[in-house]
Amino acid sequence: MHIELRHMELNDWISITLLFCVLILAVARWFSKFHITDLLSCYFKDRFIKLSRNGEEGSSVLITGNVVVYTINIALFIYVFYQKEKQLPIEINGFLLSLTFLSVFFLTQHFIGKLIATLCNFEQLLIIVDHHRNIYRAMFAYPLLIINCIIIYLCDMNETALLTSLIIIGFVLFVYHLILIYTYRSLLFSAHLYFILYLCALEITPYLLLYKYFML
């Protein structure tokens, strides 16, 4: 019998990662009474946002699962883009480091924000805005997953496709921040000055520093 060792191809671990994301989405949907269309309807109306804010059963499972997929796909996209930009090899260890860094970044931003909100007495406002933001992240999990699949398998990680996708993703994320500010403008403008400082310190500056770090 002839035994042949099989070498891992470049995209093997990426395929497993993307399949794992699909599994998370399926499990989250299975344990939630809401349909995926209920979540995606937030692109046009805020019914699901209001229901999930009121603690409707199963909504947190769907949101949490999708936010996890969002984080994984953002980390994967940033890692692939950075490695291609610097012409470095794409390896799973580097991706795991990127995923860990991004997860810590989001968690640190969240908990420092809660600390500042508690100290400066705008905690309730932050909870409302943060919930809406997590809904958007959950929604974006699906298009991000599709974009990564297109870039990796159809475009073969082409630099032009990566740059185009980066511009689109960056524009969409910028727009959704504007939508959040517009949606809660009456609350924000009547809020304490500390909340404005919070927006500058923890919602804008960290992303600029993160961009500068990856572009160095």
**pLDDT single digits (tens) 91-111:** 899 999 999 988 888 887 778
* Residue 13 pLDDT > 60: yes
d(CA 206, CA 147): 24
Question: If pLDDT is split at 50, 70 and 90, which confidence band does 22 have?
Answer: very high
Token pair 């949490």 in the structure block, residue:
64
Tell me the CA end-to-end span of the chain in Å, nearest whole number.
52
Q: CB count, 10 Å around CB of 62?
A: 24
Question: If pLDDT is split at 50, 70 and 90, which confidence band does 201 have?
Answer: low
**How much is the pLDDT for 16?**
93
Residue % of the chain over a pLDDT of 70: 75
Which residue has better confidence, 108 or 52? 108
Q: CB count, 10 Å around CB of 66?
A: 27
**How much is the pLDDT for 199?**
60
Region of poorest pLDDT, from 1-5, 88-92, 110-114? 1-5
CA distances from 49 to 42, 85, 141 (A): 7, 38, 16
* Residue 163 pLDDT > 50: yes
d(CA 194, CA 9): 51
> Position 97: which residue type?
L
**How much is the pLDDT for 204?**
59
- The whole-model pTM stands at 0.81
d(CA 28, CA 41): 17
CB 135 within 8 A of CB 63: yes
User: Could you tell me the residue ranges of all domains in the chain?
Assistant: 12-104+124-183
**How much is the pLDDT for 189?**
61
Annotate the chain with three-state secondary structure.
CCCCCCCCCCCHHHHHHHHHHHHHHHHHHHCCCCCHHHHHHHHCCCHHHHHHHCCCCCHHHHHHHHHHHHHHHHHHHHHHHHHHHCCCCCCHHHHHHHHHHHHHHHHHHHHHHHHHHHHHCCHHHHHHHHHHHHHHHHHHHHHHHHHHHHHHHHCCCCHHHHHHHHHHHHHHHHHHHHHHHHHCHHHHHCCCHHHHHHHHHHHHHHHHHHHHHHHC
Question: If pLDDT is split at 50, 70 and 90, which confidence band does 58 have?
Answer: low
**How much is the pLDDT for 176?**
81
**How much is the pLDDT for 24?**
93
Q: Burial of 141 by CB count in 10 Å (0-12 exposed, 13-18 middle, 19+ buried)? A: buried
